Amino acid sequence: MTDISLFDYELPEELIAKYPAEKREASRLLIYSRKEDIIADRLFSDLPEYLSSGDVLVLNDSRVIKARLFGEKEGTGARVEILLLKRKDTGAAASEIWEVLARPAKRLHTGDRILFAGQKEPSLLSGVIIGKGGDGSVDVRFECDGDFFEALERFGHVPLPPYIRRENEALDAERYQTVYANEPGSAAAPTAGLHFTDALLGELRGKGVETVFITLHVGLGTFRPVQTENAEEHKMHSESYFISEDARQKINRAKAEGRRIICVGTTSVRTLESTCIYNEENGLFIPQENSTGETDIFIYPGGREIKMADGLITNFHLPKSTLLMLVSAFAGREKTLKIYKRAIEKQYRFFSYGDAMLIV
């Protein structure tokens, strides 16, 4: 049994970042060397000092969509809030089927229609409930005039996490998105990547650090709270991932040559771990071919061992979360909690818009 209370810690409310740092690279960066057991306090702009020529930086290029929608139930006018989780299918022309969270879910029934552009222009964006899942999710077939993602841009809102405790503002459209975001589909940002700028990535490449982009669309699996006392009983919600053949070959080549794989964010770790297989020829774990699909992988201490990552860049995560458990599987639970305690003492900023740490 893995008691989730072992991953609890107390965090002062004022250390939860409500807004991003003024400049992306101006976030603080805590460095932890596992080999030397040394901690250093730096800025994210200092990252190139800790990476070497030949290192491979693996980044999640999923793009956050305006996944939060407010509408009204056709006929009654009752207010409905929707959070898009995962694209399930593209239906007929101009229709999309998505798995979503809905409030109030208990009052929604199959066949109900929700209008997101008001009663006067329902064709601009609407959705019909076509099924309900056992985990509280709802399947919705969306219909609109024109492109669905353009409709989301018009009527949707940036899906800020609830602990930020404010409505989304104009700055969030840019800052709750990585500068390299490319593939639309996430309901939450892969937050470790928020600190990078194009200039910083250019500096790393100039130093000989190789950048590789993979995709995992962040959904309920990443941020759903653990609701069981025994972590091993927690069921992760599946999320879609994709690793291109080019990215796979670059990662495999680096592994074969003994170069470090530095994962940016827990989503990058989970994607690589979901696709890796043992190669008997060189005795290494490498991403397999046809690296596309869905993953519900759950990484925690005492469970699956992390085989692909040699380093991890990550933000500071919520108590008892699967994200904190993954970091603990990489750095050790006791050491991770000691680092968190120190970060609190040093007034680091926590969670999505907070500071970062590099574990190597």
Domain containing residue 256: CATH number: 3.40.1780.10
Query: Would you state the pLDDT for residue 90?
Result: 57
**CA 170 centroid distance within chain:** 21
How do beta strands 28-33 and 38-43 pair?
Answer: antiparallel
pLDDT tens column, 162-178: 999 999 999 999 999 99
For Cα atoms 37, 29, 216, give the angle at the middle one, nearest 5 degrees. 100
Query: Would you state the pLDDT for residue 253?
Result: 95
**Which residue do the tokens 């030397």 mark?**
36
In a domain, residue 167? The reply is no
Which residues of the chain fall below pLDDT 70? 90-95
Beta bridge partner(s), residue 103: 81
Are 206 and 289 in a shared domain? yes
Give the domain-ending residue among 129, 157, 185. 157
The residues near 37 (Cβ < 8 Å, ≥ 6 apart) are: none
In a domain, residue 309? The reply is yes
Are 107 and 60 in a shared domain? no
In a domain, residue 207? The reply is yes
Are 139 and 110 in a shared domain? yes
> Please, are residues 155 and 69 in contact by the beta-carbon 8 Å criterion?
yes
Are 320 and 250 in a shared domain? yes
Are 273 and 233 in a shared domain? yes
> Please, are residues 189 and 195 in contact by the beta-carbon 8 Å criterion?
no
Peptide bond into 159 cis (omega under 30): no
Q: CATH number of the domain at 87, please.
A: 2.40.10.240
In a domain, residue 8? The reply is yes
Which CA distances in Å does 150 have to 64, 67, 95?
13, 12, 13
**CA 105 centroid distance within chain:** 24
Alpha helix positions (H), the chain: 148-155, 172-175, 198-206, 220-223, 245-256, 266-275, 322-331, 333-345
In a domain, residue 165? The reply is no
Query: Would you state the pLDDT for residue 34?
Result: 96
Are 316 and 202 in a shared domain? yes
Are 317 and 187 in a shared domain? yes
Query: Would you state the pLDDT for residue 1?
Result: 83
The residues near 25 (Cβ < 8 Å, ≥ 6 apart) are: 43, 44, 45, 195, 196, 197, 199, 200
Burial class of residue 46 in the structure, from the number of CB atoms within 10 Å of its CB (0-12 exposed, 13-18 middle, 19+ buried): middle
In a domain, residue 166? The reply is no
Q: What residue type is 121 in one-letter code?
A: E
pLDDT tens column, 102-121: 999 888 999 999 999 877 77
Give the domain-ending residue among 122, 157, 192. 157
Rounded Cα distance between 34 and 37, Å, is: 5
Rounded Cα distance between 86 and 240, Å, is: 8
Total domains, the chain? 2
HSE of 246 in the Cβ direction (CA atoms, 13 Å)?
A: 6
Looking at residue 306, the DSSP 8-state letter turns out to be: P
Are 283 and 138 in a shared domain? no
In a domain, residue 245? The reply is yes
Rounded Cα distance between 26 and 28, Å, is: 6
Are 205 and 319 in a shared domain? yes
Are 128 and 216 in a shared domain? no
> Please, are residues 273 and 308 in contact by the beta-carbon 8 Å criterion?
yes
Q: Which of 57, 49, 59, 61 is nearest to 254 (CA)?
A: 57
Domain that holds residue 20: 4-64+173-359
Are 206 and 315 in a shared domain? yes
The residues near 357 (Cβ < 8 Å, ≥ 6 apart) are: 29, 30, 31, 32, 313, 314, 315, 316, 339, 343
Are 97 and 134 in a shared domain? yes
Please provide residue 167's backbone torsions phi and psi, each rounded to the nearest 5 degrees: -75, 155
In a domain, residue 223? The reply is yes
Answer left, alpha or beta for residue 111, where phi above 0 means left and psi between -120 and 50 means alpha.
left
